[in-house]
Amino acid sequence: MIEVQKASKQFGELNALHEVDWSVQEGEWWGIIGPNGSGKSTLLRLLSGTEQASSGEVLIRGKAASSYERKQLSQMLAVLQQDGLPPVHYPVKDVLEMGRYPFQNWLGQELGNDPEDLIEGIMDKLDLRLLAKRPLDELSGGQRQRVALGQVMVQQPQILLLDEPTTYLDLRYQHQFMELVGNWRKESGITVIAVLHDLNLAAQFCDKLLVLQDGQVTGSGTPQEMLTAEHIRRVYGVEPVIVQHPVSGVPQVLISRHMEE
Ligand SMILES: Nc1ncnc2c1ncn2[C@@H]1O[C@H](COP(=O)(O)OP(=O)(O)OP(=O)(O)O)[C@@H](O)[C@H]1O
């Protein structure tokens, strides 16, 4: 579904990405991890067509991501940022309806079926009914991120790109957000690619991880394969302790303090 072939991205002298090879199959959930400045968001922007590779290819369904018309790409792919929606004075229901823009003509008329049932269904799934008339600027960050997820669900994409979507959420909302994405994926078979800083969250939810360091891929595979002490030490320059999650068995990363005598 997505093929990245020897993709590089330069900003002046800086090699933000260097010859990245990566293949994503339909329905997979990938996490992109790596230290600050390692090129994660740049890679996501190549996938969403907002930046073009300096060399190499980024193909979505066999066609260069940057060659899709914006609306055509939006019918297939949705992007959700860490602060998904600005706190504007629009009611939640209107914001959800805006998710239909790839399927509307220039007068804002829907080109296909009436999306009302779709929007109602998504409000139920995300528990947004009671918030429907509330303006976004009166909601908490966690509630607003749930609306942002609703808006991309209304868009009905086949590929979802998430750029650090849980950064501003507390522990409960982080998990709730990831569970909602997981349920959506189970129901609709969408492909999910998420840039995540939280390795433990990544291990719990992603099937596979792509690890970047200084713009290069240092590994790709299951969380079990990627989250080894040696790999994390090398990539992040920290001394980790890897334990197994007592319930799910996935690797979890702990960091010890430097204890002075
Ligand atoms: N538009 C740009 N112009 C110049 N340099 C850029 C631009 N965008 C990114 N960079 C640089 O490219 C490198 C990779 O940045 P990127 O944002 O992809 O990293 P990241 O892994 O997402 O980082 P973080 O975890 O801190 O969000 C960084 O050194 C950054 O300064």
Higher pLDDT, 169 or 160: 160
pLDDT given for residue 139 in this prediction: 93
The answer to whether residue 258 scores a pLDDT higher than 80 is no
pLDDT given for residue 259 in this prediction: 61
**How remote is the CA of residue 206 from the centroid of ligand 1, in Å?**
23
Atom of ligand 1 nearest to the CA of 35: 25
- Determine the average pLDDT of the residues in 8-17: 96
Confidence of residue 83 (pLDDT cuts 50, 70, 90): confident
Q: Is position 41 within any domain?
A: yes
Q: Is position 27 within any domain?
A: yes
Instruction: Give the CA distances from residue 63 to residues 1, 59, 72, in Å, rounded to whole numbers and listed in that order.
Output: 10, 5, 12
Cα–Cα nearest to 47, from 179, 161, 175: 161
Q: Is position 136 within any domain?
A: yes
Q: Is position 202 within any domain?
A: yes
pLDDT given for residue 261 in this prediction: 53
CA gap 119, 70 in Å, rounded: 23
Domain that holds residue 217: 2-227
Tally of domains within the chain: 1
CATH number assigned to the domain comprising residue 108 = 3.40.50.300
**How remote is the CA of residue 15 from the centroid of ligand 1, in Å?**
10
**How remote is the CA of residue 97 from the centroid of ligand 1, in Å?**
32
Is pTM beyond 0.90? Reply is yes
pLDDT given for residue 169 in this prediction: 87
Q: Is position 175 within any domain?
A: yes
Confidence of residue 190 (pLDDT cuts 50, 70, 90): very high
Asked if residue 146 has its Cβ within 6 Å of ligand 1, the reply is: no
31, 178 Cβ separation under 8 angstroms = no
